[in-house]
Amino acid sequence: MAKPAENARQAFASKLEAGEELRSVGELSANPSFQDKLTDSKNFYFAGITNKRLLIVRLNWLSKPIDKENYSIPLTDVKLEESGALGAVLNQLLVKLPDKEKPVRFWFEFGMQKLTGFDVDEFKSALGGK
């Protein structure tokens, strides 16, 4: 079975423009509450960072890409926020989406790198060396 990071890379392969390089992939949630995760999977997305932009692809309840709520955002409209309490780091992205008035907050859902293939440090670095 393919790791989620491999599935994300496949989901972005057809969305890349000529000369564009996919630097990192991850999984994001637009609503991190545990109860909402159990009842509403529409808030999960694959995120891909290229040398030009952030790509976001919505996932269905089986974590398969679907053709709704997909976005292409210039990296200038993406801000990494790191905050935490009691030694835990909560990584979040504030993203200005074209169809929303206010920036949308996405939480990282990377899980264990050995199982998912997602590398949080690579993802942050691809956002601009953070």
Spatial CB neighbours of 103, under 8 Å, sequence gap ≥ 6: 79, 94, 95, 96, 97
Residue range 25-45, pLDDT digits in tens: 999 988 655 555 555 555 789
Q: Which range has the worst mean pLDDT, 1-15, 32-46, 63-77?
A: 32-46
CATH architecture of 4-126: Roll (2.30)
Strand 53-58 and strand 71-74: the pairing is: antiparallel
In the chain, what is the greatest distance between 2 CA atoms, to the nearest angstrom? 45
pLDDT at 1 over 80: no
pLDDT at 130 over 50: no
Domain boundaries of the chain, sorted by first residue? 4-126
Using the 8-state DSSP alphabet, how is residue 30 labeled? S
- Residues 73 and 104 sit within 8 Å (Cβ to Cβ): no
Please report, as a single letter, which amino acid is at residue 3: K
Compute the chain's Rg from CA coordinates: 14
Note the residue count of the chain.
130
The mean pLDDT of the chain is 84
Q: Where are the beta strands (DSSP E) in 59-98?
A: 71-74, 78-83, 90-95
